Amino acid sequence: MTSDPAPSAGFRLPTGRVTVVLGPDAARRGLLGRLDPGSAQGVLTVTSARGRSALERVAALTQAAGHRPVMVLVDRLTDGLGAADRRTVLDALRALAAGGPAVLVDDADPVAALAVADGALRATADGSVLFDDLASPRQRAS
């Protein structure tokens, strides 16, 4: 695992990988708030109402992949799900990333999201961000 500062200019998330946002809830929300998917072509946000089933949420990820985005912001997609359904949705993030986009995940349970993550952005209360590469050297080569 490496930890490098993510410069505000020129920083890019690795494509084809899942990156989870870590840190205090307010810092994570602030980081996502600074990202403006409307200003960048090929950036989608996927979120869900708490009443949606895991299969409906997986279908939303599949639909997003069909748009061939460059980046997908996955915002609290597992909120309200039990452990097994949460795992089903998080596993679908790997399939989404395998299609090529950078996938950035903010989850109510970021520790669960780490199970499928290749990297992590650590958001701090002061607004700084650190990137942790969680992928093994073998995974990075593929």
Query: How does residue 39 score in pLDDT terms, banded at 50, 70 and 90?
Result: low
Helix (H, G, I), strand (E, B) or coil at 9: coil
Query: How does residue 140 score in pLDDT terms, banded at 50, 70 and 90?
Result: very low
What average pLDDT score do residues 71-89 get?
A: 93
| Burial profile 13-27: b = 16 or more Cβ within 10 angstroms, e = fewer | bbeebbbbbbbeeeb
Q: Is residue 43 part of a domain?
A: yes
pLDDT tens digits for range 93-127: 999 999 999 999 999 888 889 999 999 999 888 88
Structural domain harbouring 131:
14-141
User: With 0-12 CB in 10 A as exposed, 13-18 as middle and 19+ as buried, what is 48?
Assistant: buried
Q: Is residue 7 part of a domain?
A: no
Domain count, the chain: 1
Q: Kindly tell me if the per-residue pLDDT of 10 is higher than 60.
A: no
